[in-house]
């Protein structure tokens, strides 16, 4: 039986109350959205968002540059907070937060912030930023654990028109410095530390280290930083530098809780989020105000079928785009209750998620396939210990979900009653692009199914022509949409080259895909040199340059190999400088070196030392071949262009 024939029809009871009740209704709205996109988006923007000034033109499009709701003004924090203050939502929980349980088993701290309380905190902190000289258009780096203050800091930036760039707490000092340098940030918001599996992640220490890193020109990478605001989370010893470092709790005592929102141009930058590409350093993906918020809001409501009494939990860290759109902006713009959890899924025991779901009566869970595969491995006894009957919808994101994991999620976690939305999207797309509509779209394990309203994806060949049904090709998007990235910070040429040059006039996703006979999309994964390791995007070039920055390394090539748990694992082939000997100690050193340069997520799973790397006559590393070696496959295909056959033998030998 083909996978696509295992269709799971929407549950009738679910459909009755869902926002989109049938496939026919979805198709009708979808058709309108594609045939008259400007009419469609104009209407949505009017209905969904509060504007302080109406727009003159819905879309101004000259590939690759889109402007949405041109001339319109609004403020994101008003749309997430103020608009609810005169409604019943004012006293509803906006954020439910749970900290990591202590090592001794003491339950984690809990905090609930209503919309009114969150509004107050945001206004206070916005005034702190102002006091520290941050104004409209300034960039602010946020490097925090998963605590409510991460959302508060983001919204406070939005309130005064500052542009935030959140850096995942698992990234290194070097990554912080690189991002400050690229964005020209004026301030960093961080914490003394964050709790992770019983230990403290030394965030402030990393910031201190970042603040002394110099570039190749011997100048500080972080010269633009004027202040560092530090949240006290762990109580660990840190150093505070006078006139540069300020405690969050001291600062908010000195300011007023009244902070008028800055009316922002619809196209004003809202945030920059760095993500790996196939070449060079991570690129700063730029999202703007009106279009992004509209898209985040609509996708959250329709894809998760948000209802007023839902307790919604997206387990992503705010350091990733999923945390931006589906922990903070999307849920809050809808007046929903968003749960935030600080710790790891298996700390102190592998039932942390199920424990949280049972206690908070979580009704919507959105997580990554890599987590689901880990839960499968840990065993069914952990979820079975808890009452998961509050769940009514499940989602996945970040990588293709294998059918076994889908079925397990559906059966063990969803009790066979919860629809699963497998959502395909990217940092660049701002929000979910291909997804089932729960209650309307029959689902099938492993397919993200159909496009969201207004989205026109297509699978194309090398020439950019649509391929036949069931043939593989590159996934592109043919029409602009409000949530799309507006550029790469400071690099318009790279923006053009990476996304708009592969297939002229269309957005190139970097993913491969096929469409089945039902028109469902099956995402195969990246077709560029970007790997997806446990749902995290890692550019092979970035890891390679981290490796060669170690004094012992001459050359490095990084490829992926399939991994049962993480989807893909990182394998590095390394040649050493003359006189340096390969050893297990060196392997450890190199892994730690990558951890220091980028962050623990980028540490290679395997390092293999080789005499030299296989190259074509033109000097290009033969990655295809290395991938096969890494996966333990027999070498296939034409190897006659190899410079040196002995190299191959050598590689296969080190394999043993």
Q: Token digits for 513?
A: 């895909």
Query: By C-alpha distance, which of 203, 264, 260 is closest to 229?
Result: 203
Question: In the bound complex, what is the minimum distance in angstroms from residue 511's beta carbon to ligand WTA?
Answer: 5
Shortest gap between Cβ of 474 and ligand WTA (angstroms)? Answer: 12
165 binds ligand WTA (CB under 6 A): no
68: phi then psi, degrees, rounded to nearest 5: -110, 140
Element (H, E) at 337: strand 337-341
Under rule CB under 6 A, residue 426 binds ligand WTA: yes
Residue 424 touches ligand WTA, criterion: CB under 6 A: yes
C-beta of 222 vs 443, nearer to ligand WTA: 443
Q: Which is nearer to ligand WTA, 69 or 312 (CB)?
A: 312
Q: Do 174 and 135 contact (CB within 8 A), yes or no?
A: no
CB of 509 to ligand WTA, least distance (A): 6
Scanning 188-196, 384-392, 418-426, 586-594 for contacts with ligand WTA by CB under 6 A, the matching segment is 418-426
71 or 525: CB nearest ligand WTA: 525
Residue nearer to ligand WTA on the CB measure, 267 or 317? 317
Write the binding mask 172 to 211 for ligand WTA: x where contact by CB under 6 A, - elsewhere.
----------------------------------------
CB of 420 to ligand WTA, least distance (A): 11
Residue 457 CA to its chain's centroid (Å):
20
Q: Which one, 180 or 397, has the nearer CB to ligand WTA? A: 397
Output 75 or 509, the one with its CB closest to ligand WTA. Answer: 509
Q: CA-based Rg of the chain, rounded to a whole angstrom?
A: 24
Closer CB to ligand WTA, 149 or 422, in the complex: 422
Nearer to ligand WTA, 186 or 474 (CB): 474
Of these, 152, 437, 448, 460, which contacts ligand WTA (CB under 6 A)?
A: 448
Single out the residue of 510, 539, 567, 599 in contact with ligand WTA (rule: CB under 6 A).
Answer: 510
Q: Under a CB-based contact definition with an 8 Å cutoff, are residues 110 and 129 in contact?
A: no
Out of 321, 412, 421, 558, name the contact with ligand WTA by CB under 6 A.
Answer: 321
Which helix (H) or strand (E) covers residue 597, if one does? helix 584-597
Cα pseudo-dihedral 374, 379, 385, 389, rounded to 10: 60
Helix (H, G, I), strand (E, B) or coil at 530: strand
Q: How far is the CB of 448 from ligand WTA (least distance, A)?
A: 5
Cβ at position 473, least distance to ligand WTA in Å: 15
Would you count residue 327 as binding ligand WTA (CB under 6 A)?
no
* Between 8 and 347, CB nearer to ligand WTA: 8
| 277 near ligand WTA (CB under 6 A) | no
Binding residues for ligand WTA, total number by CB under 6 A: 23
Backbone angle region of 137, left / alpha / beta, with phi > 0 → left and psi within -120 to 50 → alpha: left
- Which region among 255-263, 318-326, 492-500, 593-601 touches ligand WTA (by CB under 6 A)? 318-326
| Closest residue to bound ligand WTA by CB | 427
Binds ligand WTA by CB under 6 A, chosen from 72, 169, 400, 614: 400
- Name which of 334 and 509 has its Cβ closer to ligand WTA: 509
The tokens describing 166, both together, are 């959140």
Cβ nearer to ligand WTA, comparing 363 with 513: 513
CA nearest to 414, candidates 356, 360, 372:
372
Assess 322 for contact with ligand WTA (CB under 6 A).
Answer: yes
Measure the CA dihedral 236/242/246/251, to 10°: 130
Q: Which is nearer to ligand WTA, 73 or 526 (CB)?
A: 526
Query: What is 543-579 written as a DSSP string?
Result: HHHHHHTSTTEEEEEEEEEEETTTEEEEEEEEEEPTT
Give the per-residue SS3 of 275-291. Answer: ECCCCCCCEEEEEECHH
Is residue 447 a contact residue for ligand WTA (CB under 6 A)? no
Q: Where are the beta strands (DSSP E) in 464-565?
A: 473-477, 487-488, 507-515, 521-526, 530-533, 536-539, 553-563
d(CA 312, CA 173): 33
Q: Does residue 523 bind ligand WTA (CB under 6 A)?
A: yes
Using rule CB under 6 A, residue 423 touches ligand WTA: yes
511 binds ligand WTA (CB under 6 A): yes
Q: Is 526 in the site for ligand WTA (CB under 6 A)?
A: yes
State in angstroms the smallest separation of the CB of 523 from ligand WTA.
4
Backbone angles phi and psi of 648, in degrees to 5: -65, -45
Q: Which stretch binds ligand WTA (CB under 6 A): 22-30, 180-188, 392-400, 545-553?
A: 392-400
Kindly state the helix (H) or strand (E) to which residue 396 belongs, with its residue range.
Answer: strand 393-397
The gap from C-alpha 654 to its chain's centroid, in whole angstroms, comes to: 36
Residue nearer to ligand WTA on the CB measure, 397 or 625: 397
- The yes or no reply on residue 272 touching ligand WTA (CB under 6 A) is no
Of the candidates 280, 460, 401, the one whose C-alpha atom is nearest the C-alpha of residue 3 is 401
Least Å distance, CB 96 to ligand WTA, is 23
CB of 433: closest distance to ligand WTA in angstroms? 9
**Which residues ranging from 427 to 446 are in contact with ligand WTA (CB under 6 A)?**
427
Q: Is residue 267 a contact point for ligand WTA (CB under 6 A)? A: no
Contact residue for ligand WTA among 44, 205, 337, 532 (CB under 6 A): 532
The gap between the terminal CA atoms of the chain, to the nearest Å, is 38
Residue 323: partners with Cβ closer than 8 Å, 6 or more residues away? 166, 314, 316, 317
Q: Which is nearer to ligand WTA, 356 or 448 (CB)?
A: 448
Tell me the two tokens of residue 343.
Answer: 């710790």
CB of 366 to ligand WTA, least distance (A): 11
261 binds ligand WTA (CB under 6 A): no
Q: Check residue 399 for interaction with ligand WTA (CB under 6 A).
A: yes
Rounded to a whole number of angstroms, the minimum distance from the CB of residue 423 to ligand WTA is 5
Beta bridge partner(s), residue 246: 229
Q: Where do we find the tokens 């301030």?
A: 187
* 32 touches 40 (CB < 8 A): yes
Beta strands in 157-304 (DSSP E): 163-166, 187-191, 194-196, 199-201, 227-231, 245-247, 264-265, 269-275, 283-288
Q: Which is nearer to ligand WTA, 355 or 423 (CB)?
A: 423
Kindly tell me which residue out of 222, 275, 506, 540 binds ligand WTA, with binding defined by CB under 6 A. Answer: 275
- Tell me if 398 contacts ligand WTA by CB under 6 A: yes
Q: In what order do the strands lie in the sheet with 187-191?
A: 245-247, 227-231, 187-191, 139-143, 163-166, 269-275, 283-288, 487-488
C-alpha closest to that of 541 among 601, 498, 602, 481: 602
Using CA of residue 12, residue 18, residue 21, residue 26, what is the dihedral sign? negative
Residue in 397, 571, 572, 613 binding ligand WTA, rule: CB under 6 A: 397
Which chain residues interact with ligand WTA by CB under 6 A? 275, 320-322, 397-400, 422-427, 448, 509-511, 523, 525-526, 532, 537
């Amino acid at each position: 039986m083909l996978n696509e024939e295992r269709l799971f029809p929407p549950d009738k009871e679910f459909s009755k109350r869902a926002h989109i009740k049938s496939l026919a209704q979805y198709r009708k709205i979808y058709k309108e959205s594609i045939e008259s996109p400007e009419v469609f988006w104009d209407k949505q923007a009017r209905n969904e968002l509060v504007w302080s000034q109406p727009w003159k033109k819905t879309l101004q499009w000259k590939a690759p540059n889109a402007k949405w709701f041109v001339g319109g003004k609004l403020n994101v924090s008003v749309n997430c907070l103020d608009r609810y203050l005169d409604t019943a939502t004012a006293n509803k929980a906006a954020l439910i937060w749970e900290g990591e349980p202590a090592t001794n088993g003491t339950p984690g701290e809990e905090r609930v912030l209503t919309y009114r309380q969150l509004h107050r905190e945001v206004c206070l902190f916005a005034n702190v930023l102002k006091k520290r000289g941050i104004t409209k258009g300034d960039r602010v780096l946020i490097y925090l654990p998963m605590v409510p203050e991460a959302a508060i800091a983001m919204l406070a930036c939005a309130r005064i028109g500052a542009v935030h760039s959140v850096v995942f707490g698992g990234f290194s000092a070097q990554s912080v410095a690189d991002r400050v340098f690229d964005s020209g940030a004026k301030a960093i918001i961080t914490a003394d530390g964050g709790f992770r599996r019983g230990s403290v992640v030394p965030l402030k220490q990393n910031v201190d280290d970042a603040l002394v890193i110099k570039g190749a020109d011997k100048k500080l990478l972080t010269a633009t930083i004027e202040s560092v605001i530090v949240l006290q989370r762990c109580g660990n010893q840190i150093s505070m530098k006078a006139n540069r470092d300020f405690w969050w709790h001291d600062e908010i005592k000195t300011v007023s809780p009244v902070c008028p929102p800055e009316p922002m141009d619809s196209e004003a930058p809202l945030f920059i989020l760095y993500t790996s590409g196939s070449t060079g350093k991570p690129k700063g993906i730029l999202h703007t105000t009106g279009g992004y918020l509209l898209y985040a809001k609509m996708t959250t409501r329709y894809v998760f079928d948000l209802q007023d009494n839902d307790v919604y939990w997206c387990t992503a860290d705010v350091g990733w785009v999923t945390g931006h759109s589906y922990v903070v902006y999307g849920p809050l713009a809808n007046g929903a209750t968003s749960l935030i959890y600080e710790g790891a899924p298996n700390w102190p025991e592998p039932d942390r998620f199920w424990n949280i779901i049972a206690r908070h009566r979580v009704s919507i869970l959105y997580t990554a396939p890599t987590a689901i595969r880990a839960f499968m491995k840990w065993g069914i006894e952990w979820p079975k210990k808890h009452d998961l009957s509050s769940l009514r919808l499940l989602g996945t994101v970040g990588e293709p979900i294998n059918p076994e994991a889908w079925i397990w999620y559906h059966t063990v976690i969803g009790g066979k009653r919860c629809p699963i939305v497998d959502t395909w999207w990217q940092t660049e797309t701002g929000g979910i692009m291909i997804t089932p509509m729960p209650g309307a779209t029959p689902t099938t394990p492993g397919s993200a199914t159909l496009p969201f309203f207004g989205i026109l994806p297509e699978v194309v060949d090398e020439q950019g022509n649509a391929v036949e049904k069931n043939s593989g090709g590159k996934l592109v998007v043919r029409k602009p949409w409000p949530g799309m990235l507006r550029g790469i910070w400071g690099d318009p040429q790279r923006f053009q080259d990476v996304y708009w040059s592969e297939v002229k006039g269309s957005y190139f996703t970097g993913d491969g895909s096929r469409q089945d006979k039902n028109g469902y999309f099956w995402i195969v994964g990246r077709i560029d040199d970007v790997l997806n390791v446990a749902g995290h995007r890692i550019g092979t070039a970035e890891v390679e340059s981290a490796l060669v920055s170690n004094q012992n390394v001459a050359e490095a090539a990084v490829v992926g190999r399939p991994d049962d748990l993480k989807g893909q694992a990182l394998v590095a082939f390394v040649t050493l400088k003359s006189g340096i000997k390969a050893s297990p100690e060196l392997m450890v050193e190199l892994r730690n070196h990558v951890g220091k340069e980028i962050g623990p997520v980028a540490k290679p799973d395997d390092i293999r030392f080789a005499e030299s790397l296989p190259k074509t006559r033109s000097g290009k590393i033969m990655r295809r071949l290395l991938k096969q070696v890494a996966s333990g496959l027999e070498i296939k295909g034409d190897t006659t262009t190899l410079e040196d056959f002995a190299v191959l033998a050598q590689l296969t030998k080190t394999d043993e």
